[in-house]
Amino acid sequence: MQIRLKSGQDFATGLLFLVIGIGAYYIGSTYSMGVAQRPGTGVLPRILAWCLIGTGVLMWIKAFVGPGEGTYRFSWRPVVMVLLGVAILVLYLTVFPPILAALKIQGDGSPIIAVTLAMLVAVTGMPNTPWRPLVMVTIGVIAFSLLVDTAGLIVAMVVSMTLAALGTHETRWREFAAFSVLMLLIGYGLFIYALGMPIKVLPWN
């Protein structure tokens, strides 16, 4: 009997569910269950993890047994990129901490950045995924969060908008420059002037 993959998408979705479900179960099993009258921290995580795993299995069944002619073609790119993403994560957990400490980059953000970047790399591995918009927009948002506390709103906005604009080849730079000035004015007017939010605007305040 030949088992053919009918739908790469269903397989990938199932894989996603299984990975998250198993991960959640693994972490959730360390939480206490409590007693019947006082359900503990771990009750819902475990139930949900099982549900997600179950859903993942169903997706896999659908991927192999569902309707379709099995014209899915295997390609190396997704596998390579996913492995690369995992590698980044592993690097982050092992090699980066001393480097980051030396550069004095701290704060809670770094695990989130690491996981986001790892995921970014893995996702660009999907077939028919031009990397440019996804990567540039994501980096733009990350840049904003890294810059806004230290360099102020204007710098953060300019950098992140520029990075995002780089994400598409349609950008016309003169138009973009005028537009970003407009955006900065609106942003300043709305958030700083009208709402009075205590946000740092310039790098030297």
Applying the rule CB under 8 A, the residues between 141 and 180 that interact with other proteins are 141-142, 144-146, 148-149, 153, 156-157, 160-161, 164-165, 167-168, 170-172, 175-176, 179-180
Among the residues of 125-187, which ranges form H helices?
A: 131-151, 153-165, 173-187
Whose Cβ is closer to other proteins: residue 40's or residue 203's? 40
Q: Residue 132 Cβ, how far from other proteins at the closest point, in Å?
A: 8
Q: Residue 155 Cβ, how far from other proteins at the closest point, in Å?
A: 13
Please identify, among the stretches 73-81, 94-102, 131-139, the one whose residues bind other proteins according to the rule CB under 8 A. Answer: 131-139
Whose Cβ is closer to other proteins: residue 99's or residue 171's? 171
Q: Residue 113 Cβ, how far from other proteins at the closest point, in Å?
A: 6
Residues 64-83 interacting with other proteins (rule: CB under 8 A):
67
Q: For residue 156, which of 164, 166, 165, 147 has the smallest C-alpha distance?
A: 147
**Do residues 147 and 107 touch, judged by C-beta distance below 8 A?**
no
Of the candidate residues 77, 95, 193, 202, the single one contacting other proteins (CB under 8 A): 193
65: left (phi over 0), alpha (psi -120 to 50) or beta: alpha
Cα separation, 147 vs 162, in Å, equals 14
Beta-bridged to residue 39, according to DSSP, are 34
Residues 37-66 interacting with other proteins (rule: CB under 8 A):
37-41, 44-45, 48-49, 51-52, 55-56, 58-59, 62
Please identify, among the stretches 73-81, 97-105, 132-140, the one whose residues bind other proteins according to the rule CB under 8 A. Answer: 132-140
Burial class (CB in 10 A: 0-12, 13-18, 19+), 22: middle
Q: How far is CA 178 from the centre of its chain?
A: 30
Tell me: does residue 92 bind other proteins (CB under 8 A): no
Cα separation, 171 vs 162, in Å, equals 10
Of the candidate residues 33, 137, 151, 154, the single one contacting other proteins (CB under 8 A): 137
Cα separation, 152 vs 160, in Å, equals 12
Whose Cβ is closer to other proteins: residue 72's or residue 179's? 179
Q: Residue 93 Cβ, how far from other proteins at the closest point, in Å?
A: 11
